[in-house]
Structure 1
Amino acid sequence: MKVQMSDNIDTRVTPSFHPDTVQAIDAYDDDTASVLAGTEAAFNEAYLAVGRVHDAREAGKTNPAWTEAAALIETQNFADKLTGNLAKRFDSATSNLTRVVEGLERDLSQPLEGRGVGAMAGEIRSYVHSLPEGQRMGFIQKAIEAGDERTVGAVLGGVPYLSGITPEMATMLLRLYHEKTNPRAAKQLRAAKAGLELLGERAPLLFKEMEKAVGAPQAKVQQLRAAKAKAEKSFIA
């Protein structure tokens, strides 16, 4: 479910951080919203934080006790504090989604233990093995699509070579089976992977956006801080 970006737009901040970009993920819907909640919260916090630094910069200009350099240093101090908190938030969201992906990958790769026993299962495997090599995969895929648990269990619940398929083919078919029988988990996995990709793409933008909000390169602020510290030494009793 894709959504349109809300009217709550701050034109000073890149839309790359707007939380609606998370909701624009193809697999985002009621089934996956909880999976992406941490990611959405991180984006929302980043979007608001950059806006707050822009506000702080403008407020600093109105303080009669601050020179332009002093206002710049204070704005950078504020930005540094928010950036540190945001880095933790993005790291936490990434760690949480990584755990979700690992868990869902396990769930969607569980073997069909105990399904491939009995005389009927053996006959099914023999039949599949007798098919031309190029038809075996298609036959099993059709069984999965049709919900033919007996055929699928016989083939994927047994040793792959007994059905004339490779372990790699069996693994692929097993995933196809799990995605067919548990579409919600498959959708959540797609959403979690998309969320991880989004976090990886957008997190590096944070420093650039904060620098833009402060209004000066980090190097310049560092020079001003050094000059301030040197000057203040003269006032130490």
Structure 2
Amino acid sequence: MADEIDTRVTPSFHPDTVRAIVEYDDDTASILAGAEAALTEAYIGVGRVHDAREAGKRNPAWNEAAALIETQNFADKMTANLAKRFDSATANLTRVIEGLERDLSQPIEGGGVGAMAGEIRAYVHALPEGQRMGFINRAIEAGDTRTVGACLGGPAYLCGLTPEMQTALLRVHHEKSNPRMAKQLRAAKAGLELLGERGGLIFKEMEKGVGAKQAKVQQLRAAKAAAEKSFVV
């Protein structure tokens, strides 16, 4: 699929757009598999609508209007299937993001216990307010788990931090300690954003595949339905 190019279909649906996500690699491919599959189906589906349109032109039993209506009927079915696929992929990525966010926000257990931890917290609390977060950030970067555990493993006020400050530092610590998980979260968010952007193109691309505006097809359907009433016994 990656090597096949259909010039009738927007490249925005090509699965290579998922693989172009910066964080796409062996660690994130499984997380992004649903988004990749959704775009692949969209790429193929729109191409099939173009194929159907050309086949309709070759059907001797159909005039232009009939071919247009049948092509639109096919496009509607494809659109419904793609909407389900995009919704499913979106829901799955949302669950992944929620789980990773939860894991990267877990409190540090047991790090704030002991006399040394108390001394560390007292030292940090005595620092000027504008220096406390910087001190803890440097400890995180240095991998100083004793200092990080003391400052983030107990109540925020013991270090002179607000709960919001401690939460932000805790997130930095988890991302530093779990780079693979942090990368997966970035990939999942990028995939979710991509699905949102590409999903909005489905109707436009289907309209191009059908070769007419929805309003025109609806008028033809209405005229067909009205004419068929004359054949009801």
TM-score range, shorter chain: over 0.9
Q: How many residues matched?
A: 233
Aligned counterpart for 1:25 among listed residues 21, 25, 32 = 21
Q: Deviations over 1:68-92 (max 9, x none)?
A: 1111011000000000000000011
Q: Deviations over 1:26-61 (max 9, x none)?
A: 111111111110001000000100000001100111
Q: Counterpart amino acid of 2:174?
A: H
* Residue 132 (str. 1) matches residue 128 (str. 2): yes
RMSD over equivalenced CA pairs, Å: 1.2
* Residue 56 (str. 1) matches residue 52 (str. 2): yes
Alignment of 1:194-233 (within 5 A): 194-233=190-229
Alignment of 1:174-193 (within 5 A): 174-193=170-189
* Residue 88 (str. 1) matches residue 78 (str. 2): no
Aligned counterpart for 1:10 among listed residues 6, 28, 31 = 6
Alignment of 1:119-158 (within 5 A): 119-158=115-154
> Structure 1 unaligned runs (5+)?
none
Indicate if the aligned counterparts of 2:18 and 2:191 stay in contact, CA closer than 8 A: yes
125-134 vs 31-40, greater mean Cα deviation? 125-134
TM-aligned CA deviation for residue 134 of structure 1: 2.3
Q: Counterpart amino acid of 2:136?
A: I
TM-aligned CA deviation for residue 113 of structure 1: 2.3
TM-aligned CA deviation for residue 236 of structure 1: 1.8
Alignment of 1:73-84 (within 5 A): 73-84=69-80
Q: Deviations over 1:83-135 (max 9, x none)?
A: 00000000111111111111111000000122101111101101111222222
> Structure 2 unaligned runs (5+)?
none
Change (3 A) 1:213 1:198: same
Q: Counterpart amino acid of 1:224?
A: L
DSSP 3-state at the match of 2:154: coil
Indicate if the aligned counterparts of 2:2 and 2:15 stay in contact, CA closer than 8 A: no
Structure 2 CA distance, aligned partners of 1:11 and 1:105? 39
Aligned counterpart for 2:112 among listed residues 113, 116, 119 = 116
TM-aligned CA deviation for residue 148 of structure 1: 1.1
Aligned counterpart for 1:72 among listed residues 57, 68, 72 = 68
DSSP 3-state at the match of 1:70: helix
TM-aligned CA deviation for residue 202 of structure 1: 1.3
Q: Percent identity?
A: 82
